[in-house]
Amino acid sequence: MTGAAVNVHATAVVLGTHGFLFVGPSGAGKTTLALACLSAAKNIGLFAALVSDDQVLISIRNGRIIARRPASIAGLAEIRGVGIVQVETVRVAVLDFAILPVKPPFEPRMPPENETFLLPSGDFLPMRRLPLAEGLNSFEILRLILP
């Protein structure tokens, strides 16, 4: 996948200096969690922007995993039950981590060690599970679990 981009069903964002790929099946809460983290990061003065929602073009350049947005959905995110909203975006970002939203009850209670998200190229991103539940500040939890 060094040259061509592959479309992955995910949501990509930049929070501060890191790029995140929110992954999981349809309805898992990828967009909800990503938008909550964007808002929380901005509220404390960090740079935060959406790369792409629902479709992310992934490629490998110089050993880095790159996310781009399809032009047709630039600046748009779908909030389930609400509709399409406009969100501040960036065209491209280097990805550092995959984030898997998890809803209660949390099973398994502890995530597997050294969990990764496999990309179509065979490359992978380190993956972190992030709780998605009413009343939780998911962004603060994300900050706690990152190295």
Q: Find the angle CA(54)-CA(110)-CA(121) to the nearest 5 degrees.
A: 40
The residue count for the chain: 147
pLDDT at res. 35: 95
Instruction: Enter the tokens of residue 7.
Output: 């479309």
Rounded to an integer, what distance in angstroms lies between the CA atom of residue 77 and that of residue 72? 12
Q: Give pTM, 2 decimals.
A: 0.93
pLDDT value of position 2: 55
CA distance linking residue 100 with residue 15, whole number of Å = 16
CA 66, CA 121: separation in Å to the nearest integer?
12
- The four Cα atoms 140, 145, 146, 147 give a dihedral, to 10 degrees, of 130
pLDDT at residue number 50: 98
Instruction: Please name the CATH architecture into which domain 6-145 falls.
Output: 3-Layer(aba) Sandwich (3.40)
109 DSSP 8-state letter: S
Lookup: tokens for 95: 């990805």
Domain ranges in the chain are 6-145
Residue spans of beta strands (DSSP E) within 32-133: 48-53, 56-61, 64-68, 76-79, 83-86, 92-94, 97-102, 116-118, 124-131
Mean pLDDT by 10 residues, the chain (147 residues): 83 97 95 95 96 97 95 94 93 97 83 93 94 87 88
Dist CA 138 CA 41 (whole Å): 10
Three-class SS state of 107: coil
